[in-house]
C-alpha cells in the first residue's frame, strides 16, 4: 500500500512523515533530478505500508521543478491514497491544492498541521462539518511534536481499505456542464494517466501537461472539445479561462470556510510582522544580515575546529598506525600501504569534514526553518537582478563558502534552468572551507603581519570574479524560460530540533555517501599515481613525472621553477585540503611513521578518548565564547614549511599560488554535483574553463604585482 504525502511548501510534511516512520525514513533522489526523495516503508498491523514525501506544491500546475515532480508522481505513479498536509493557519490557500487533489478522486485524509498555532491565535474550526463537507477525515496534528501522526496514518489506511473517495466540490454550473461532457469524451478516448475529472478541468484550463498527454494519445476529439469548452466559457463570462476556474475554486473554498471556520475578532498582530519591521528595516536590515552571516561562519568554524583536528589526528595518529601494525604482518607491503595510505586516508579526510558540515548545515537549517532565509532573498534580490538571477542565488553562494557541493544542490529551488546555470557557474569561485587550511599554511609562512587581510582578499577575488562571470553568462545565455521573481515570505517560527534535524540529516548523509565514495575512490587513484610505478621513490612516480612536464608553464605565474608545489595541485582536485597532505608526502616527510607495538593499543585508545573529550569541551566553549583561539596556532616551522619557503621567491609568488588554488577547480565532488544537476556539458566546461581562468588570473596577479612591487 502506497501513501503519498502532499502539501504546500513549509507545511511540515517531512516532520509529519518523520514522526510516523521515525528511523525508517530513507532519503534518496527523484530520478533525473536531485530533489530529495524521502520514503519510508514500515509494517502496520501486518501490512507493508510505504510512504512517499512529495516535494511541496501550491497547486498541480507547477511553477518550480519540485512542483513538477509532485505532479508527475501523482500522474504516473499514482499512490493508493493521499495524505494532504495543510497549514491550518493558512487554511484558505492550502485548500486550493486540496480541491485539486479531491478532483483526483483518490482515498484521502487531511492532516491539519500546526493546529496548536491555529487555536492559539484564536481561530476555531468545526472539524465534524469539514469532514462531512469534504467526505474525508481531517486530523489535527502538530508534526514538530509528533502529535496526531499515528491517527493520520490509521485514518489513511482505513480510508484506503474502505476505498472511500472524497466528495467532489462542484465548481460553477457552466464549468461543471463542460467538465461532465468532456469527461465522457475522455472515457471514450481511452485511458490516461491523469484521473478523469482532474484531466478534464486541466484540459479546459489549457494546462500544458494535460494538453500534452492528450496530444500524445492522439485524442483529437478530446482536444477539440476542450478548446470549444474553453472558448464557450471565456465568451460567456468574459474573463480568461484561468481566472474563471481559479475564481470558481475560491468561491467553493470561501463557502466551505464560512461554514466551518470562526476567525478571532481581532487577529493578534502577528509577531512576524514586528520582527520584519526590524529585520527588513531600511537601515537595520543589512547590519543584521551581515551580523547573522558573520555569526554563521564564525560559529561553524570555531565550534568545529577542535573536532576537525581531533578527527584528523584520530585517523592519522591512531587508526592508521595501528592498522598498519596489524596488516603489515599479514599482507604484502604494497597492499598494506594502499589500505592505510589510500583508503584510510580518504575515509579520514571525509570524516574530518563532518564536524564542520554538521555545524554549517545545522545553522543553515535553523535559518531556513525560522523563515529568515526568505528574507535574505528579499533583501538581496535587487543586487541579483542585473545578473539575471534572483535573491535566492545569494543563499546558494553563501552556502558555497562552507562547501560548494550543497551549494550546487541548493540551486534546485530556483524556477528556471537559466538562473540555476548562472548561479552554478559562480559557486566554484566561492572559497569553500577546504581552501582555508591552504591559505592558513601559506599566509603563516609569507604574510605573518597581515594574514587576515590576505585571506579576506582571496575571498573578495573569488566573489568579484564570480559576479563577473554571472554578468557575462547573463549576457550570453539565451533569455528563454525566464520567470518573474516571486517569493513567499512565510511567518517566522521557532524551529524545533526535530525539524532542523530532519532538514539537515539528509544533507549530511548525502555528503558522507556521495562525497565519501568519490573521495575514497580518488584517494586510491591518487595513491596509485604517487606510489607507482613500483614502490619507488616519490621523485620517479607518475605524479612527479607529469608535474615536471607542466611545471615550466607556471613560470609567468611565479611558481614554475619547482615541480613539487605544482604536483600537489593535482591531488588537490580531489579536495582542496589534500594539497597540504600531498606536499607532505611529496617532500617525503609524512612517511616517517611511528611503529606502535600492539600493546600500545590500550594506551592510545585512552589517549584518543581523552583528546576527544578535550575537543568536545573546546568546541562547546568556542560555541558560546567567540573570543579567540580561531587563529590556528601554526606549529613551529616544520620540514614542509622550510621546504616550501625555499621554493617560492617571496610573498607575491605565494599569493599567486593561493589565487590559483582558489580558482583552478573546486573539487571532484563539486564537479560530480554539477554533472548530476546539469549534465556532462557544463561539468566538462567547468573542468576546461576553471583552470584557464585560474591560470589567467594568477599570471595577471603575478605580472601586475611585479610592476608595482619593483
Partner 1 sequence: MKLADLQPGQKAIVKTIGDLGELRDRLMELGLLCGETVQLLRRAPLGDPLEFSFGNEKIALREEDARKIDVEPISRPHREEKKESV
Binding site residues, partner 1, CB under 8 A: 58-59, 61, 63, 89-90, 92-93, 96, 242-243, 246-247, 250, 273, 276-277, 280-283, 285-286, 377-379, 381-383, 385, 391, 483-491
- Cα separation of the two ends of the chain: 76
- Of 376 and 673, nearer to partner 1 (C-beta) is 376
Written as nine digits, the cell of 228 is 470549444
Please state the closest distance from residue 96 (CB atom) to partner 1, in A: 6
- In this structure, the strands spanning 81-87 and 108-113 are parallel
State the Cα–Cα distance between residues 568 and 547, nearest whole angstrom.
Answer: 9
- In this structure, the strands spanning 137-140 and 108-113 are parallel
Peptide bond into 419 cis (omega under 30): no
Find, among 505, 503, 527, the residue nearest to 347 by Cα: 527
Please state the closest distance from residue 152 (CB atom) to partner 1, in A: 23
Q: Which residues contact 242 (CB under 8 A, 6 or more apart)?
A: 205, 206
Q: Which residues of 159-183 are buried (b: 16+ CB within 10 A; e: fewer)?
A: bbeeebbbeebebbeebeebbeebb
- Say whether 297 sits in a helix, a strand or coil: helix
- Say whether 492 sits in a helix, a strand or coil: coil
- In order of 243, 361, 377, 399, 508, the CA distances from 365 in angstroms are 37, 6, 15, 11, 12
- In this structure, the strands spanning 26-29 and 36-44 are antiparallel
Q: Which residues contact 521 (CB under 8 A, 6 or more apart)?
A: 346
- In this structure, the strands spanning 124-125 and 36-44 are unpaired
Q: Is the dihedral of CA 668, 669, 674, 679 positive or negative?
A: positive
**47-53: strand order across its sheet:** 26-29, 36-44, 47-53, 2-7, 81-87, 108-113, 137-140
Find, among 148, 97, 100, 101, the residue nearest to 127 by Cα: 148
Q: Which residues of 584-598 are buried (b: 16+ CB within 10 A; e: fewer)?
A: bbbbeebeeeeebee
User: Quick one: DSSP state of residue 589?
Assistant: -
State the Cα–Cα distance between residues 137 and 101, nearest whole angstrom.
Answer: 14
Residues 36 and 506 sit within 8 Å (Cβ to Cβ): yes
Please state the closest distance from residue 44 (CB atom) to partner 1, in A: 35
Please state the closest distance from residue 263 (CB atom) to partner 1, in A: 10
Residues 34 and 412 sit within 8 Å (Cβ to Cβ): yes
- Say whether 630 sits in a helix, a strand or coil: coil
Instruction: Quote the distance between the C-alpha of residue 659 and its chain's center.
Output: 27
Q: Which residues contact 220 (CB under 8 A, 6 or more apart)?
A: none
DSSP letters spanning 496-528? -HHHHHHHHHHHHHHIIIIIHHHHHHHHHHHHH
Please state the closest distance from residue 35 (CB atom) to partner 1, in A: 19
- Say whether 318 sits in a helix, a strand or coil: helix
- Of 277 and 684, nearer to partner 1 (C-beta) is 277
Beta bridge partners of 29: 36
Find, among 285, 351, 283, the residue nearest to 319 by Cα: 351
Integer Rg of the chain from CA = 30
Q: What is the enclosing helix (H) or strand (E) of 17?
A: helix 13-21
Written as nine digits, the cell of 290 is 551581515
State the Cα–Cα distance between residues 345 and 580, nearest whole angstrom.
Answer: 13
State the Cα–Cα distance between residues 550 and 543, nearest whole angstrom.
Answer: 11
Please state the closest distance from residue 55 (CB atom) to partner 1, in A: 16
Residues 182 and 226 sit within 8 Å (Cβ to Cβ): yes
State the Cα–Cα distance between residues 106 and 194, nearest whole angstrom.
Answer: 12
Amino acid at each position: 500500500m502506497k501513501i503519498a504525502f502532499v502539501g504546500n511548501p513549509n507545511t511540515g510534511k517531512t516532520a509529519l512523515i518523520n514522526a510516523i516512520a521515525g528511523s525508517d525514513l530513507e532519503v534518496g533522489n527523484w530520478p533525473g533530478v536531485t530533489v530529495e526523495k524521502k520514503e519510508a516503508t514500515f509494517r502496520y498491523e501486518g501490512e507493508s505500508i510505504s510512504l512517499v514525501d512529495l516535494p511541496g506544491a501550491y497547486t498541480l500546475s507547477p511553477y518550480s521543478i519540485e512542483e513538477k515532480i509532485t505532479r508527475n508522481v501523482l500522474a504516473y505513479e499514482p499512490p493508493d491514497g493521499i495524505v494532504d498536509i495543510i497549514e491550518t493557519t493558512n487554511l484558505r490557500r492550502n485548500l486550493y491544492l486540496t480541491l485539486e487533489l479531491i478532483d483526483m478522486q483518490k482515498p484521502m485524509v487531511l492532516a491539519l498541521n500546526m493546529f496548536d498555532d491555529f487555536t492559539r491565535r484564536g481561530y476555531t474550526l468545526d472539524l465534524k462539518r469539514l469532514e462531512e463537507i469534504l467526505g474525508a477525515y481531517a486530523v489535527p496534528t502538530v508534526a514538530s511534536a509528533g502529535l496526531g501522526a499515528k491517527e493520520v496514518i490509521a485514518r489513511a489506511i482505513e480510508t484506503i481499505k474502505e476505498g472511500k473517495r472524497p466528495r467532489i466540490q462542484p465548481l460553477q454550473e457552466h464549468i461543471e456542464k463542460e467538465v461532465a461532457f468532456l469527461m465522457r469524451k475522455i472515457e471514450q478516448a481511452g485511458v490516461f494517466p491523469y484521473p478523469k475529472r482532474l484531466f478534464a478541468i486541466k484540459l479546459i484550463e489549457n494546462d500544458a501537461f494535460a494538453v500534452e498527454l492528450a496530444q500524445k494519445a492522439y485524442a483529437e476529439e478530446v482536444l477539440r472539445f476542450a478548446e470549444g469548452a474553453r472558448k464557450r466559457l471565456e465568451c460567456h463570462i468574459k474573463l480568461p479561462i484561468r481566472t474563471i476556474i481559479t475564481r470558481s475554486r475560491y468561491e467553493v473554498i470561501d463557502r466551505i470556510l464560512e461554514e466551518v471556520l470562526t476567525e478571532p475578532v481581532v487577529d493578534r498582530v502577528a509577531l512576524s510582522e514586528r520582527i520584519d519591521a526590524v529585520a527588513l528595516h531600511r537601515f537595520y536590515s543589512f547590519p543584521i544580515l551581515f551580523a547573522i552571516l558573520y555569526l554563521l561562519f564564525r560559529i561553524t568554524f570555531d565550534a568545529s575546529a577542535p573536532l576537525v583536528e581531533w578527527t584528523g589526528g584520530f585517523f592519522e595518529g591512531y587508526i592508521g598506525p595501528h592498522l598498519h601494525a596489524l596488516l603489515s604482518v599479514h599482507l604484502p607491503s604494497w597492499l598494506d600501504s594502499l589500505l592505510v595510505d589510500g583508503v584510510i586516508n580518504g575515509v579520514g579526510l571525509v570524516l574530518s569534514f563532518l564536524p564542520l558540515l554538521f555545524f554549517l548545515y545545522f545553522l543553515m537549517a535553523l535559518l531556513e526553518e525560522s523563515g529568515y532565509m526568505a528574507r535574505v532573498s528579499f533583501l538581496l534580490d535587487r543586487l541579483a537582478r542585473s545578473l539575471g538571477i534572483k535573491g535566492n542565488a545569494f543563499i546558494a553562494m553563501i552556502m558555497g563558502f562552507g562547501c560548494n557541493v550543497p551549494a550546487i544542490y541548493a540551486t534546485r529551488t530556483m524556477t528556471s534552468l537559466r538562473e540555476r546555470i548562472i548561479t552554478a557557474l559562480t559557486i566554484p569561485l566561492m572559497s569553500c572551507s577546504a581552501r582555508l587550511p591552504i591559505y592558513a599554511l601559506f599566509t603563516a609562512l609569507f604574510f605573518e603581519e597581515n594574514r587576515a587581510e590576505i585571506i579576506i582578499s582571496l575571498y573578495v577575488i573569488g566573489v568579484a570574479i564570480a559576479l563577473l562571470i554571472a554578468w557575462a553568462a547573463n549576457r550570453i545565455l539565451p533569455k528563454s524560460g525566464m520567470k518573474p521573481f516571486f517569493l513567499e515570505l512565510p511567518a517566522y517560527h521557532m524551529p524545533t530540533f526535530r525539524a532542523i534535524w530532519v532538514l539537515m540529516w539528509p544533507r549530511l548523509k548525502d555528503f558522507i555517501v556521495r562525497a565519501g565514495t568519490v573521495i575514497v575512490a580518488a584517494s586510491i587513484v591518487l595513491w596509485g599515481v604517487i606510489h607507482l610505478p613500483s614502490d619507488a621513490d616519490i621523485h620517479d612516480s607518475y605524479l612527479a613525472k607529469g608535474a615536471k612536464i607542466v611545471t615550466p608553464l607556471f613560470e609567468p605565474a611565479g611558481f614554475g621553477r619547482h615541480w613539487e608545489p605544482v604536483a600537489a595541485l593535482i591531488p588537490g582536485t580531489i579536495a582542496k585540503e589534500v594539497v597540504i597532505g600531498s606536499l607532505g608526502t611529496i617532500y617525503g616527510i609524512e612517511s616517517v611513521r611511528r611503529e606502535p607495538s600492539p600493546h600500545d593499543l590500550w594506551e592510545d585508545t585512552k589517549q584518543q578518548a581523552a583528546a576527544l573529550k578535550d575537543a568536545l569541551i573546546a568546541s562547546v566553549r568556542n560555541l558560546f565564547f567567540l573570543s579567540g583561539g580561531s587563529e590556528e596556532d601554526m606549529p613551529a616551522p616544520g620540514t614542509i614549511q622550510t621546504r616550501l619557503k625555499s621554493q617560492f621567491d617571496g610573498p607575491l609568488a605565494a599569493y599567486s599560488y593561493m589565487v590559483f588554488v582558489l580558482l583552478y577547480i573546486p573539487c571532484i565532488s563539486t564537479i560530480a554535483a554539477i554533472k548530476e544537476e546539469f549534465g556532462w556539458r557544463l561539468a566538462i566546461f567547468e573542468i576546461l574553463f576553471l583552470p584557464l581562468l585560474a591560470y589567467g588570473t594568477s599570471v595577471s596577479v603575478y605580472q601586475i604585482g611585479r610592476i608595482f612591487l619593483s
